Amino acid sequence: MICEADFDLHYAIVEASLNKRFPRFLSLIRRGLVSRVTIEARSGTRRVYVPDPVKEQNRIIEATLLGDPDAAGMR
């Protein structure tokens, strides 16, 4: 399932960061992770943001391999 693969990718990135606490934290909140929600600044209405996970993952992987944390969305 893509949701599992998406989480697994992000978990692998977290493990590679060598942060000893964050992998455990991510595991604890795993069940509560839901589709991202964006708030429209002008209207105040909420809409669900469901990204294309494969496209997003490819962007993150490519930026990480290039050593570009800004493009990877890590800053």
Q: Which class for 32: exposed (0-12), middle (13-18), buried (19 or more C-beta within 10 A)?
A: exposed
Question: What are the pLDDT tens digits along the chain (75 aa)?
Answer: 557 777 888 889 889 888 989 999 988 888 766 554 444 555 666 665 556 777 888 888 898 889 988 887 755
Give the helix/strand (H/E) hosting 36: strand 36-39
What pTM did the predictor assign? 0.56
